[in-house]
Amino acid sequence: MMKKLLIAGGLTLLLCFSSLFFDRTALTAKAESETLSLNCKAAYCMDANSAAPVYALHETQRLPIASMCKIMTLILSFDAVESGKMDYDTFIPVSEHAMSMGGSQVYLEAGGQYTAQQLMESITVCSANDACVALAEYIAGSDDLFVQKMNARAEALGCSDTLFSNCTGLPKDPQYSCARDVALMLRELISNEKYFEFAGIWTDEFRHPEGRTTLITNTNKLIRQYQGCDGGKTGFTNEAGFCLAATAKRGDTRVISVCIGSPDSKSRFAAVSRMFDYTFANYADRELYGTEPLEEKLYVGNARTREISVMPERSVRYFSKIGETDAPFERRAEFLSVKAPLKKGDKVGEMTVYRGGVEYARVPLVCCEDAEKAGYGDSLRRAAENWAI
């Protein structure tokens, strides 16, 4: 869970944009909202790596989001796996309450047991309400307690216009979110690589304990209809209209698009596709600094080898409009005072990247190799070398 909180806090943020950049990008997003015509109440499109906005239409308006609530249900399910509360093979019991959810479901058997992986897959693929409640009861003890976790997690992600009342998205007041917050939640969800295994399934047979099967089909048609789309979550109620949050990747650029309140299913897929098209045609995510060793070497005290190579722990990337002229980037490496022994991957400093003199990103520096502690023979050899000099 600590890893997840660190991720939410910024370790998966490959870029730390200056406030000046975000102000300018936000203005661009507002301008694009006047040129792109989408048939929905609210929409938002952003770069998945940096969260830089590309398109915004009523992005903070509080609206019902139907089954897109399940994005947070899945986030907490992945959190439970990472914390050790359960694993993918854990058998989850199904209560009468869970079985009785109605709406989109996979027709779980009350008293039956299903693996966490089965339930998480059914939520991702066919938006199963009964699977949501079964997992919620197992993880938190009740679906009401699970909703408290949902709201706390949303707050930690910076979703300031979101309030959950259940884990399914079925109508229940008060319950709302906004296009921007949904994008942030989907961004967190796709930080789990396992998620894409579920999201890429088109059809599957969901097997029940007594042998019967339920055919499940992916509600996100874009995974077959849009090049690069590999995940997302649909939603529909009469109150919310037709909704969709989806992600697509082409080359090094991954985009997240959200629309809320389309009048029909075709319109929501068209709206998200249009935002994808615009972003891939006009923006790119490029690598500024990779994870190769730096030219600078790190001096290690009391080590057999006095200097070792270091590298950034992760790459630094930059999302911008194609052809846009920007202030030059420069970097500065600062090393800690360290002594052997050190292991490959140990953090030994920090690299700060500046754009036009303003701090843009800060990345830990790590050892490229081990540094063993000097022995008695090494000390004698160095003493002899110093004496000869």
Give catalytic residues, as residue numbers: 67, 70, 127
Pairwise CA distance, residues 136 & 381, whole Å: 64
8 A C-beta contact, residue 157 and residue 185: yes
In order, the DSSP letters of 122-183 are HHHHH--HHHHHHHHHHHHSSHHHHHHHHHHHHHHTT-TT-B-S-SS--S-SS-BB-HHHHH
Cis-peptide into 341, omega within 30 deg: yes
Q: Which helix (H) or strand (E) holds 215?
A: strand 213-217
Name the token pair of 234: 């649909």
Per DSSP, the chain holds a count of helices (H) and strands (E) of 12, 17
Q: What type of residue is 240?
A: A
Contact 181, 160 (CB under 8 A): yes
Which 8-state DSSP code applies to residue 36?
A: S
Distances (CA, A) of 366 to 301, 320, 344, 370: 16, 28, 7, 11
Instruction: Give the position of tokens 């259940």.
Output: 166
